[in-house]
Amino acid sequence: ISIPQGQMIGADIQHFDEIDSTNNYAKKIANEGCAHGTVVVAEKQTTGRGRIGRQWQSDTSEGIWFSIVLRPEMKPEDLQVITLAASVAVVEAIEETLGIVCGIKWPNDIIIDGKKLGGILTELSAEPGHVNYVVVGIGINANQDLEHFDYEIRQKAISLKMCKGETVSRSNLLGSILTNFEEVYKGVLLGKNKEIIDRWTKYSVTIGKEVKIAYRNMEYIGTAQSVASDGRLIVQCKDGVTREISAGEIQVRGL
């Protein structure tokens, strides 16, 4: 992977053949003081993790599994846009390097033909008013054939190879994602949230759709209207109330 001179994201890349989870390792080295922009990449993960306590199947070296350590000078409540920025970096890189246009399901599922190509798991260490570090973990199904996926997820998963009909270069794509992420991350620091959310919205398969929101044993149905500048999804619910929802606290399903 070639990283342009002066780029901070990926200036230090730590590569493993096998690891439990790149997010776990990234959090460990972040606690030990590693530099902003350090990237942890693994060929295989034995216990890859997804959002909301889910597993992430990544026991095969056909995927792209990596985590980025960030040390943003931001308030914890402003961080959500970083995850949206990461999904923009991923879909733009896939379009630029492979010509495949993916969709993004809010907040950050990368989708092709309604099937899951990739996802992002952001974890942070923060105190009130202060962020110690953020780990952005990204998983992309790259060169898996259908048989590489566990039987239960075959209906729901897709890879770039399945889509393109040929093997793709994982290192090219990773390099391109890291360079794009450097650019969108700088945008976040400069307060260009609106521009990033506009770019996110261009790929969104959620905006304008009916969604079901599960929140603390309650369920609401409504229409996803837009994303606010802090990254929250604005939903006009059928009970007449407009709700702004954060990725961490709710689960959104398309109807």
Residues found near ligand BTN in the complex (CB under 6 A) = 21-23, 45, 48-51, 54, 56, 58, 65-67, 109, 119-121, 137-139
What CA–CA distance (Å, rounded) separates 166 from 145? 10
Query: 23 or 204: whose CB is closer to ligand BTN?
Result: 23
Query: 119 or 175: whose CB is closer to ligand BTN?
Result: 119
Distance of CA 94 to the CA centre of its chain: 13
- Cβ-closest position to ligand BTN: 119
H helix intervals, 71-228: 80-98, 160-164, 170-189, 193-203
**Cis preceding linkage at 107, omega within 30:** yes
SS (H, E, C) 8-63: CCCCCEEEEEEECCHHHHHHHHHHCCCCCCCEEEEEEECCCECHHHCECCCCCCCC
Smallest distance from ligand BTN to CB 8, Å: 20
Query: 3 or 64: whose CB is closer to ligand BTN?
Result: 64
Per the DSSP assignment, residues forming a β-bridge with 105 are: 109
Smallest distance from ligand BTN to CB 142, Å: 12
What CA–CA distance (Å, rounded) separates 236 from 115? 26
Smallest distance from ligand BTN to CB 119, Å: 2
Smallest distance from ligand BTN to CB 240, Å: 32
Query: 90 or 98: whose CB is closer to ligand BTN?
Result: 90
Smallest distance from ligand BTN to CB 207, Å: 19
Of 102, 96, 140, 103, nearest to 121 by C-alpha is 140
Helices and strands (H and E) in the chain: how many: 5, 12
64, 176 Cβ separation under 8 angstroms = no
Smallest distance from ligand BTN to CB 121, Å: 4
Query: 4 or 248: whose CB is closer to ligand BTN?
Result: 248
16, 127 Cβ separation under 8 angstroms = no
Cβ neighbors of 192 (< 8 A, separation 6 or more) are none
Query: 50 or 225: whose CB is closer to ligand BTN?
Result: 50
Smallest distance from ligand BTN to CB 108, Å: 7
Tell me 166's DSSP state: S
Query: 57 or 180: whose CB is closer to ligand BTN?
Result: 57
